[in-house]
Amino acid sequence: MASAGSADRYLPDTVQESVKILVVGDFGVGKTTMIGSVSEIEPLRTEETMTQASVGVDDLAGLEAKATTTVAMDFGRITLSPLTALYLFGTPGQQRFWDLWAGLSEGAVGALVLIDTRRLEGSFEVLDQLELRGDLPFAVAVNLFPDSVRYGRKALREALDLAPDTPIVECDARNRASSLDCLITLVEHAVQKEQAGQKAPAVQKEKA
Amino acid sequence: MTDPGDYKDHAVRPYVLTQGRARPSRNTIGLDTLLVVTEAGKPLPVSASRQERELVRMCRRLLSLAEAAAYLELPLSVASILASDLVDSGHLTARSRIPEVARPSQNMLKEVLDGLRRLR
């Protein structure tokens, strides 16, 4: 159960390794809700400052126009075994945050893309980016809101232009078991991709 | 909980805390890198900043960089530079996978899967 007294703030001293999963999606799609429903600690918030060339922003003639943005990320933790801790990082999906991803996705198990069918267009950018990168396994989780439009999986796959092997699951991000099922689906997919990759070792992905 | 995306200013600019550096001395410290004090009570140099002292105190037991940064309300980039220095100086030990490995191993993936299924 999620409780966050400072007594269980720390990890058991036996933990030797940590892994992470990204929970990606538009603002308000339920990332923090999902993280909170499975995390053993109250979701925490960190800030990352990003310096970015302010493309498309006011053109300050003659100035090296760079803007610093502060991005808030919520995250949670699950101690999976005495040896391993899993971290879940909620990450905004919009294009302007992709610089942030480079560091975040390094070594990650994969990304769970959380989607709200009432605002499908909010997920196009992030799905395009994930398919382009190709190196990070991802699954799509449809967070069902009471007034969500229900699509069949086939229709959704077409609407989102997903590859045939990309898993789609429906979920209630408030529900622990449902959220765990989404994570399990993603990790199963990551295992499959890893196995497929081992079978074809000739294709060596060059480092980005 | 504060509102999403709200902006918090810091009295001290991040580059002051990091002595002007934007990159850590080693790139093996990621968000989920686990940190713990190397040796309890090992004195910090008198020149150590308040933030470095707080980080060492926070890591008296095992915690990830992201958690330490969140509790201390430090931007992640600043926390990773400070943690990196403290690992270099032998005050903190970074425990966990070196993030040069692009993807978790098959064994690790299976361990994650088993762990999640047990919770289910």
Q: Is residue A186 part of a domain?
A: yes
- State which residues form the domain around A111: 14-49+66-199
**pLDDT for the residue numbered A147:** 86
Spell out the domain ranges in chain B: 14-119
Q: How many domains does chain A have?
A: 1
pTM to 2 decimal places = 0.85
> How much is the pLDDT for A48?
79
CB within 8 A of B99, min separation 6: which ones? Answer: A106, A107, B27, B28, B30, B33
* CATH for A42: 3.40.50.300
Which residue's structure tokens are 């077409």? A158
CA of A31 vs chain B CAs: smallest distance (Å): 12
Please tell me the predicted confidence (pLDDT) of residue B12: 66
In chain B, residues 29-68 whose CB comes closer than 8 Å to chain A:
30-34, 36, 61-64, 66-67
| Chain A residues with beta carbon closer than 8 angstroms to that of B67 | 9, 41, 44, 77
pLDDT of residue A23: 96
Q: Residue A5 falls within a domain, yes or no? A: no
Q: What is the per-residue burial (b if ≥16 Cβ within 10 Å, else e) of B29-48?
A: bbbbbbbbbbeeeeeeeeeb
Q: Does B42 score more than 90 pLDDT?
A: no
In a domain, A127, yes or no: yes
> For residue range A6-51, what is the model confidence (pLDDT) as tens digits?
557 999 999 999 999 999 998 889 999 999 999 999 999 998 776 6
CATH number 1.10.3470 given to B14-119: no
- Nearest C-alpha of chain A: how many angstroms from B78? 9
Assess if residue A20 is contained within a domain.
yes
Grouping H, G, I as helix, E, B as strand and the rest as coil, residue A88 is strand
Predicted local confidence at residue A57, as pLDDT: 44
